Amino acid sequence: MKYTWTLSFCSVALTTSLVAAPAAEEALLARLPEIFAKSAAHYKALDAAAAPLAISEKEVGKGWDKSKALMPHGFNRKTRQLDMRTIFWWTAGHFPGSLWYLYEATGDEFFKTRAKAWTETLAPNAKVTSNHDIGFIMYCSYGNAKRLLKTDEYDALITSTADSLCKRFKPELGLIRSWGMLDETKDFLVIPDNMMNLELLEEAAKIPGGEKRFADVARSHATKTMAHHFRADGGTYHVLNYDQRPGFHGAVQEIRRGQGLSCETAWSRGQAWAIYGYTMMYREAKDPAYLAFAEKVTDFALNHPNMPIDGVPYWDFGAPGEERDTSAAAIIASGLLELSKYVKSPDKAAKYRAFAVKQLTALASPEYFSEGDEIGHWLLKHGVGHKPGGSEVDTPLDYGDYYFLEALLRLKKE
């Protein structure tokens, strides 16, 4: 149904693949109520298990310090315990964000109440200047709260977070420092994940009375990253170390493997952040360079010879046969559903949308979607956090669930 307009532009050769797409999409759309109902049941169980653990044992009875609160993050498959982490951990906004998406998907007031309660534990992040992740943390949580509750109650916190994030911006380089302290002079480390923090800056600039400099910083960072962080084929490096000495004007002094397999391959989640990040930046800035770049980094991933047939990538594009990363698939699917609305070529739009549908159909299958408490009620199995660091390999990841739910909602809304 949605592709009728597309077919009139297509050559006969393309028609076969495009005809298949609407049927797959209709089938997935028909399953949405069931997928959201199962997800809601999982997250009710997660919330019940996590709530008593939200304050660390050490704090109980001490008139507890709010900055010591904990947030559900993942699942330890050996001990079968819920993995609770500090509210300053980079993923702390994703669990409340998923609760907000479940509220949006089901209308169940339980999710509104719980999403609000978990979101509000994150307030101390607004003043943090020691990492770039506060954009993620505060936008997935408070950003969704603002959108769904249609409230300005959180504007001051969002603005304060944007101000803190901008303290990591170095105008001489035009970049936000991803890792490292503000006074670090030797290294200036940037990762493509940082693209995801820019949405909070764009939103903060739009708050009535909001500062234009927030959007200026976001656009400067996106443009500089576009110039340096990718190979000619559109594949991403993970960590770039820029030279910040006066006179060196941000030359790249070192490339690091980071969470990827090597400096020559593309780490799948880094590529996913780039696809999503440049699509989002095109939405906000309407700069055609961002759109063209979003297509370039997308085409690298979708046309890669090591992309599996179900669209769930190996954890690194250079690691065929190793673990898949469901989080990368979910981020790409959500990004593609948005990008398909902006690309000028109807064929490309149809291809991107069909790819996202294929990924989401796979993620919603028993191969990837959990049953009962097999992974402590998180939704998606088989995520990879940091394989070279030996951490979180073949495990559920809170951000995988978040972008999976976001993508399903994007599919439903259109």
Q: For 93, list phi and psi in degrees, rounded to 5.
A: -85, -10
**CA proximity to 268, closest of 296, 216, 306:** 306
Angstrom distance (rounded) from CA 302 to CA 320: 14
From the CB of 191, what's the least distance to ligand GLY, in Å?
A: 7
From the CB of 168, what's the least distance to ligand GLY, in Å?
A: 15
Which of 93, 318 has the CB closer to ligand GLY? 93
Token pair for 155: 């504007």
Which of 256, 412 has the CB closer to ligand GLY? 256
Q: Is 193 in the site for ligand GLY (CB under 6 A)?
A: yes
Which of 318, 385 has the CB closer to ligand GLY? 385
Contact 46, 64 (CB under 8 A): no
From the CB of 236, what's the least distance to ligand GLY, in Å?
A: 12
Question: Site size for ligand GLY, by CB under 6 A?
Answer: 5
Measured torsion, CA atoms of residues 405, 197, 279, 97, in degrees rounded to the nearest 10: 10
Tell me which of 88, 90, 111, 355 binds ligand GLY, using CB under 6 A. 90
Which of 125, 259 has the CB closer to ligand GLY? 259
Marked catalytic residue, from 47, 83, 193, 401: 193
Annotation says 133 is catalytic = yes
Residue 186 CA: distances (Å) to CA of 228, 243, 257: 19, 8, 18
Residue 211 CA: distances (Å) to CA of 163, 204, 282: 9, 7, 20
314: DSSP letter:
B
Q: Is 179 in the site for ligand GLY (CB under 6 A)?
A: no
Phi-psi region of 378 (alpha: psi -120 to 50; beta: other; left: phi over 0): beta
From the CB of 18, what's the least distance to ligand GLY, in Å?
A: 33
**CA proximity to 363, closest of 400, 393, 394, 317:** 400
From the CB of 268, what's the least distance to ligand GLY, in Å?
A: 10
**CA proximity to 351, closest of 12, 28, 20:** 20
Q: Is 269 in the site for ligand GLY (CB under 6 A)?
A: yes
Tell me which of 119, 144, 220, 259 binds ligand GLY, using CB under 6 A. 259
Marked catalytic residue, from 133, 316, 398, 401: 133
Which of 3, 88 has the CB closer to ligand GLY? 88
Q: Which residue number places its CB atom closest to ligand GLY?
A: 193
Catalytic residue IDs: 133, 193
Q: Which residues bind ligand GLY (CB under 6 A)?
A: 90, 193, 259, 269, 385
